[in-house]
């Protein structure tokens, strides 16, 4: 099994200390993941975005596609984008993919660097149901990317958390929440899986390498 390549060194002077961590099922990855991740990397000054495909999602159905093929599609999608990296730690760890465990692990690998957990607004709306959400905020800042059709909570416990933690500039190593203006692309993996099943082309919704992997492995039919 390929081991995750890690940096145990501190960042060089002048290099951004902030690393984006972008978890998901990525079944398959699509432009609605990729372009917002690039927007976030640029706007927040992240040195890299590490895409973390989950092994066993804990808040949704298990993916029908193997971890290996989801990684293959992800790798094909990010191959030519500097700063985008595949992070296999949840797959290597196996078992339920709790983000708090992932961040705890990554903190030991990227010493002296700040983690910024990227998530779409739909994922953020469920954030308080994640295992040890306060532990997550002790380990990382959150960057919430607006997703078409979703809005941020206006009332309740999550709105209160947002009120307490929202910032327009990340200036602490963890515990802050920032909203990132991202390109609005109404694409989802569910939509792509349905289109493939119906025999409808998925060109321009996801990169060519992803489409080739889907075709070669007869995924989603």
Helices (H), 21-132: 31-44, 67-78, 89-93, 99-109, 121-125
Nearest distance from C-beta of residue 74 to ligand ATP, angstroms: 10
Pairing of strands 18-24, 114-120: parallel
Q: Which residue has the tokens 């640029």?
A: 42
Cα–Cα distance measured from residue 59 to residue 71, given in angstroms and rounded to the nearest whole number: 20
Nearer to ligand ATP, 105 or 130 (CB): 130
Residue 196, SS3 per DSSP: helix
* Stretch 82-141 residues interacting with ligand ATP (CB under 6 A): 119-120, 122-123
Give the residue, chosen from 32, 76, 140, 211, that forms a contact with ligand ATP under the rule CB under 6 A: 32
Give the residue, chosen from 38, 152, 166, 185, that forms a contact with ligand ATP under the rule CB under 6 A: 185
Total Cβ atoms within 10 A of residue 151: 9
52 and 22 Cβ atoms separated by less than 8 Å: yes
Nearest distance from C-beta of residue 182 to ligand ATP, angstroms: 6
Q: Is 24 in the site for ligand ATP (CB under 6 A)?
A: yes
Give the residue, chosen from 49, 187, 205, 211, that forms a contact with ligand ATP under the rule CB under 6 A: 187
Nearest distance from C-beta of residue 60 to ligand ATP, angstroms: 7
Nearest distance from C-beta of residue 121 to ligand ATP, angstroms: 7
- Rounded (10°) CA dihedral 27, 103, 58, 75: 10
The enclosing H or E element of 8 equals none
The enclosing H or E element of 136 equals helix 133-139
Q: Is 27 in the site for ligand ATP (CB under 6 A)?
A: yes
Tell me which stretch binds ligand ATP (CB under 6 A): 28-36, 93-101, 169-177, 212-220: 28-36
Q: Which residue has the tokens 């983690």?
A: 115
Q: Is 50 in the site for ligand ATP (CB under 6 A)?
A: no
Contacts with ligand ATP by CB under 6 A lie at: 24-27, 32-33, 36, 119-120, 122-123, 145, 147, 185, 187-190
């Amino acid at each position: 099994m390929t081991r995750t390549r890690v940096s145990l060194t501190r960042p060089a002077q002048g290099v951004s200390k902030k690393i984006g961590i972008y978890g998901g099922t990525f079944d398959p990855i699509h432009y609605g993941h990729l372009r917002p991740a690039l927007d976030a990397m640029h706007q927040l000054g992240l040195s890299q975005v590490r895409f973390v495909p989950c092994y066993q999602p804990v808040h949704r159905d298990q993916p029908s596609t193997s971890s290996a093929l989801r990684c293959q599609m992800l790798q094909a999608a990010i191959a030519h984008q500097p700063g985008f990296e595949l992070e296999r730690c949840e797959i290597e760890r196996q078992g339920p993919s709790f983000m708090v465990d992932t961040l705890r692990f990554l903190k030991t690998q990227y010493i002296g660097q700040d983690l910024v957990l990227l998530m779409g607004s739909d994922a953020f709306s469920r954030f308080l149901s994640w295992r040890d959400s306060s532990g997550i905020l002790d380990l990382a800042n959150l960057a919430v990317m607006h997703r078409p059709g979703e809005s941020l909570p206006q009332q309740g416990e999550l709105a209160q958390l947002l009120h307490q933690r929202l910032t327009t500039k990340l200036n602490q190593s963890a515990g802050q929440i920032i909203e990132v203006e991202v390109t609005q692309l109404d694409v989802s993996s569910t939509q792509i899986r349905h289109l493939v099943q119906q025999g409808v082309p998925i060109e321009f919704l996801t990169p060519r390498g992803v489409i080739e992997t889907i075709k070669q492995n007869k995924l989603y039919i």
